[in-house]
Amino acid sequence: MTIRTTSLTRGFTLVTVAVALAVSGCANMSETQQDSAKGAGIGAAAGAVLGALTGGSKGAARGAVIGAGAGALGGYIWSTRMQEQKRQMEAATAGTGIGVSQTADNRLKLDIPADAGFASGRATLSPTLVRVLGQFATTLQQNQGTQVAIIGHTDSSGSDAINNPLSFDRANATRDYLVSRGVSAARIATDGRGSREPIADNSTPAGRAMNRRVEIYVAEPAS
């Protein structure tokens, strides 16, 4: 346990240094260069923590280097278009239980509880979700340069043979509705994770309800 704690401490030290360097070096950069630098800092941070967990202090250092490269290459920007899309979706989802947020790597995230968006055990869109996705499709049309990822999740009730296809089906049903509203299918990637990525305790009803969800991510790549 002492070794794990020491490794994490060193990992977090690398996180602090990486982010500080990325931010401090942005003053005289273009917007694209700034986004790449910030992406490198965020990537280094995530890589350092993961490396510390899996490979101690040496793993933290390696993870920081690898993460920095990935972050610099795959950075996203948070443009005025993204901010406006977030504002519109916050208004469209008010009172629905659907969360709207900006992620640490500058993606727009819609967090859709499955109980609010789908019939129990099925991939049929609820009327509420249909209304929200209609507005969402409009915002995607207004910002054509973005990419969309839709990921379905389930709780741990039932078997993988049921949960895995259900998570895919819900993600694909969400994509299909957006495509029906004019969004290009080429912009949308879908995935189903079944019960493999819980965000809450599956031993309680409230936790299982949180784990049954569909996540939508919108990213505007740095050009």
Tens-level pLDDT at each residue, the chain (223 residues): 444 444 444 544 544 444 454 445 444 444 444 444 555 555 555 555 445 544 555 555 555 544 554 444 459 999 999 999 999 999 999 999 999 999 999 999 999 998 889 887 889 999 999 999 999 999 999 999 999 999 999 999 989 999 999 999 999 999 999 999 999 999 999 999 999 999 999 999 999 999 999 999 999 999 7
Q: Taking the domains of the chain in order of start, what are their residue ranges?
A: 2-73, 80-219
Strand 108-113 to 213-219 pairing: antiparallel
Please answer whether residues 117 and 150 qualify as being in contact, where contact means their C-beta atoms are separated by less than 8 angstroms.
no
How far apart, in whole angstroms, are the C-alpha atoms of residue 221 and residue 79?
A: 10
Helices 2-24 and 31-73 cross at an angle (nearest 10°) of 150
CB-CB contact of 150 with 216 (8 Å): yes
Q: Is 80-219 assigned to CATH 3.30.1330.60? A: yes
Closest C-alpha to 209, from 113, 98, 138: 113
| Model pTM score | 0.69
Alpha carbon distance 12, 167 (integer Å): 34
The 10s digit of each residue's pLDDT in 10-21 is 544 544 444 454
Q: How far apart are CA 184 and CA 163, in angstroms?
A: 28
Closest by CA position to 96, among listed 57, 134, 122: 134
Task: Please state at what angle helix 127-142 crosses helix 160-180, rounded to 10 degrees.
Answer: 50
Other CB atoms within 10 Å distance of the CB of residue 134: 14
3-state secondary structure of 139: helix
Alpha-carbon distances of 1 from 47, 58, 208, rounded to whole Å? 21, 17, 30
